[in-house]
Structure 1
């Protein structure tokens, strides 16, 4: 059982609801802040006004946050900053591009649950293009909604699935979600979520039940926490980079550049013209340089997509099953 200092077992005090029923939230360290402000502005440009966005900062305070908040205010968005930390969660080992702040996703949710009906957590490497219509999602009794993880690698959670093997006899492989976008329903949240998550992190230190040579400790622990109780969202809510050469990538409401290579810096063969239009709009607002000749990047991207198509049959089958 966790100590009283962390407040895990105390009855949660429900704060008065605000007029805005949904909030969007990020957690980042200083290294990830540039991605975060780009992603947050993509939310501000796509969601109904007024919009509330929270950036929780791990072990740093961003410079110029007042001026950045003023920029967001021009687009009907209230941008707020806060420090966050939890030594009990931070002590777990992370690996590669998965950084310590990713362990604090549920801590972020708890900060906002009760003040909003819906809390949308996003990873910093996401670009949002369309209104997510969060208030229209019917949760039933589910505390969280997410998208199936699209990792079909030979070490991933779906490595033995029908989608990889090309079989039609196993429909039980869609029980593992990607934790890049999580939508929490305040009415279904229970105060023991963080304790369950903390135990799952401890268990993961001993071994992963989902993956081989696992590097996604936060995601696997979250799957354990909400096993059998999460709501599956359409893949468009979190179209992961493993599908970026498929047709679904072109119309996805959210593109998720999971992995080492992100949506910035812009690069040939990785960013298409849709990316560049979105990023140019964001960067103009931020007073940053923009990218010219988007048609050239589109041509490079299409060449890469054709080159990758032959080996992407499993991904197409999975996306077709997800609808």
Structure 2
């Protein structure tokens, strides 16, 4: 459930002009913009935006260094123009000017939206705030504007060239990558037994990257089932057969059931696979847990990651990023050696999971 404010839409036009207007996102009009100039076209109007993938980030403003660095990394690595939507939960703020300039230069467009979420009365957990429950709201905000919508958590970092269009679901409403901690039994050894006990499929995706066929998604009933699942999950998690520290992810899996396609893990390699061959091959790295890719730390950032972050720091100086010097890469390799046993364990579990 959601409410839209009179949202300020901000975008780069084809000519590179930064635009700012007022409009009501609940109607078919958004001010006097021309559809071809917008990162999100007016509902009911014609425009080119539906042919472009819409990428959605949801933020409460607490870690917008991550939000905009993630958006820029994606813009630098994506093979074709995309429309990036920054959905700001309960606040309104301008994006950094250098971020806008860089994304426009790469053929992308950016829009910011203000979203007032209905208080679900549910708490956050640890570093995850209750804003996470509003992922479905953020998706709904732009799902009429694009044929394909990609939701991304702001702790994701694209580190290699990629094309999200090839990952769009072919027949289902949703495509996602497996959660490497849960699906392998690494974090939850009773996962498979609990799935059998509660009549759930032994498939479980990570909700940090969701690629959605918008029309199938709206018709699937998943958004409605998600709302019911969120409330039920707050009392009991069938995957853990009891309490659970997750907020939205289990509910999305319950709501989707079997109606999702499995993406190659390279599209969303979570931090549980840190420093494994899967991490090395990742198109998008996902810094699950409390320690993110910013602030950058020498023992966590390999050469590939430092290269992406250095370019962001150079091109978008108003983000104020500080990147460890190259010679400090020795700290990464020392950390890799220290974690040899853990790397071998999770690599074995992931390998066993992928051959099933």
Q: Using structure 1 for the length normalisation, give the TM-score.
A: 0.84
Task: Kindly state the Cα deviation for residue 201 of structure 1 after the two structures are TM-superposed.
Answer: 0.8
Task: Kindly state the Cα deviation for residue 64 of structure 1 after the two structures are TM-superposed.
Answer: 4.9
CA distance in 1 between partners of 2:79 and 2:149 (Å): 15
Task: Kindly state the Cα deviation for residue 186 of structure 1 after the two structures are TM-superposed.
Answer: 2.0
Identify the residue that residue 235 of structure 2 maps to in structure 1.
206
Task: Kindly state the Cα deviation for residue 293 of structure 1 after the two structures are TM-superposed.
Answer: 2.5
Distance 1:59 1:313, change over 3 A: same
CA contact (8 A) 2:205 2:253 kept: yes
Distance 1:17 1:113, change over 3 A: farther
Task: Kindly state the Cα deviation for residue 252 of structure 1 after the two structures are TM-superposed.
Answer: 0.5
Which residue among 328, 332, 343 is the counterpart of 1:296?
328
CA distance in 2 between partners of 1:270 and 1:173 (Å): 34
- Greater shift, 36-45 or 15-24, is seen at 15-24
Task: Kindly state the Cα deviation for residue 131 of structure 1 after the two structures are TM-superposed.
Answer: 3.7
Say whether 1:186 aligns with 2:218: no
Say whether 1:249 aligns with 2:279: yes
Task: Kindly state the Cα deviation for residue 3 of structure 1 after the two structures are TM-superposed.
Answer: 11
CA contact (8 A) 2:299 2:332 kept: yes
Distance 1:266 1:137, change over 3 A: closer
Task: Kindly state the Cα deviation for residue 289 of structure 1 after the two structures are TM-superposed.
Answer: 4.8
Distance 1:128 1:65, change over 3 A: same
Which residue among 273, 277, 289 is the counterpart of 1:259?
289
Distance 1:106 1:282, change over 3 A: same
Identify the residue that residue 91 of structure 2 maps to in structure 1.
60
Which residue among 213, 216, 238 is the counterpart of 2:268?
238
Alpha-carbon displacement from aligned partner over 1:237-257 (angstroms, at most 9, x marks no partner): 110011112122112100001
Task: Kindly state the Cα deviation for residue 304 of structure 1 after the two structures are TM-superposed.
Answer: 1.4
Distance 1:28 1:4, change over 3 A: closer
Identify the residue that residue 322 of structure 1 maps to in structure 2.
354
CA contact (8 A) 1:235 1:322 kept: no
Identify the residue that residue 53 of structure 2 maps to in structure 1.
22
CA distance in 1 between partners of 2:108 and 2:152 (Å): 16
CA distance in 2 between partners of 1:47 and 1:3 (Å): 30
Task: Kindly state the Cα deviation for residue 15 of structure 1 after the two structures are TM-superposed.
Answer: 5.8
Which residue among 226, 235, 242 is the counterpart of 2:256?
226
CA contact (8 A) 2:72 2:99 kept: no
Query: Which aligned pairs between 1:1-323 and structure 2 lie closer than 5 A?
Result: 16=46, 18-19=48-49, 20-65=51-96, 68-87=99-118, 90-137=120-167, 139-151=169-181, 158-160=188-190, 174-191=202-219, 192-211=221-240, 213-287=243-317, 288-297=320-329, 299-320=330-351, 321-322=353-354
Q: How many residue pairs align between the two structures?
A: 304
CA distance in 2 between partners of 1:153 and 1:120 (Å): 22
CA distance in 2 between partners of 1:138 and 1:111 (Å): 19
In angstroms, what is the RMSD of aligned CA positions?
2.8
Q: Using structure 2 for the length normalisation, give the TM-score.
A: 0.77
- Greater shift, 146-155 or 195-204, is seen at 146-155
Higher relative contact order (CA 8 A, sep 6+): 1
CA distance in 2 between partners of 1:230 and 1:294 (Å): 41
CA distance in 1 between partners of 2:3 and 2:293 (Å): 41
CA distance in 1 between partners of 2:3 and 2:201 (Å): 38
CA distance in 1 between partners of 2:180 and 2:214 (Å): 27
- Greater shift, 44-53 or 288-297, is seen at 288-297
Q: Match of 2:228, SS?
A: helix
CA contact (8 A) 1:123 1:181 kept: yes
Provide structure 2 residue ranges, at least 5 long, that are not aligned to the other structure.
5-42, 193-199
Alpha-carbon displacement from aligned partner over 1:104-149 (angstroms, at most 9, x marks no partner): 1111222222322211111000101234322223624311111111
CA contact (8 A) 1:69 1:80 kept: no
